[in-house]
Amino acid sequence: MSTTQARPARIMGATLLGTAIEWYDYGIYIFAAAVVFPQIFFPHLDPGTGILSSYVTLAIAGITRPLGAVLFGHIGDRIGRKRALIASLVMMTAATVSIGLLPSYHQVGWIAIALLLIARSVQSLAVGGEWGGATLYAVEAAPPGLRAIYGSFPQIGNGLGLLGSTGMFTLLTMPSISHLMLEWTWRIPFLFAGLLGILGIYLRIKLEESPIFKASVEEQLEKEEAAAPVVELMRTSWRTVAQATGAFLITIAGLYIISSYVNGRGVSRLGFTDHQLSQSGMMVSITIIVVVPLAAWAADRWSTRLVTLVGLVLHMVVAFPMLWLVEHGTVAGLWAGQFIGTVASSIAYAVIGTYVSGWFQAATRQSGISLAYQLAGIISMSVPALAQWLDTSLGNRWEPVAALFLVMSLISTLSVLFYRKADLIDADIAAREAKEHPDA
| pLDDT (0 to 100) of residue 106 | 84
Distance between CA atoms of 167 and 196, rounded to whole angstroms?
A: 15
The answer to whether residues 369 and 244 touch, using CB atoms and an 8 Å cutoff, is yes
The answer to whether residues 87 and 129 touch, using CB atoms and an 8 Å cutoff, is yes
The separation between CA 313 and the C-alpha centre of its own chain, rounded to angstroms, equals 20
Distance between CA atoms of 69 and 48, rounded to whole angstroms?
A: 33
Give the CA radius of gyration of the chain.
21
Distance between CA atoms of 1 and 94, rounded to whole angstroms?
A: 37
Buried b / exposed e along 262-277 (16+ C-beta atoms within 10 A): bbbbbbbebebebbbb
C-alpha distances in Å from residue 66, one per residue of 24, 73, 132, 167, 377: 20, 10, 11, 30, 8
Cβ burial of 54 (10 Å; 0-12, 13-18, 19+) is: buried
| pLDDT (0 to 100) of residue 309 | 95
SS (HEC) of 386-410: HHHHHHHHCCCCCHHHHHHHHHHHH
Which pTM does this prediction carry? 0.79
Report the amino acid identity of residue 196: L
Q: Give the helix ranges, DSSP H, for 142-237.
A: 147-151, 153-172, 188-205, 211-223, 229-236
Closest CA to 92 of 140, 44, 127: 127
Q: Which helix (H) or strand (E) holds 270?
A: none
Helix axes 229-236, 238-256, angle to 10 degrees: 100
The answer to whether residues 86 and 412 touch, using CB atoms and an 8 Å cutoff, is no
| pLDDT (0 to 100) of residue 211 | 73
| pLDDT (0 to 100) of residue 69 | 87
The answer to whether residues 248 and 376 touch, using CB atoms and an 8 Å cutoff, is yes
pLDDT tens per residue across span 10-19: 788 888 888 8
pLDDT tens per residue across span 351-405: 999 999 889 887 888 888 989 988 898 888 778 778 888 877 887 888 889 999 9
Cβ burial of 420 (10 Å; 0-12, 13-18, 19+) is: exposed
Which segments of the chain have a pLDDT < 50? 1-6
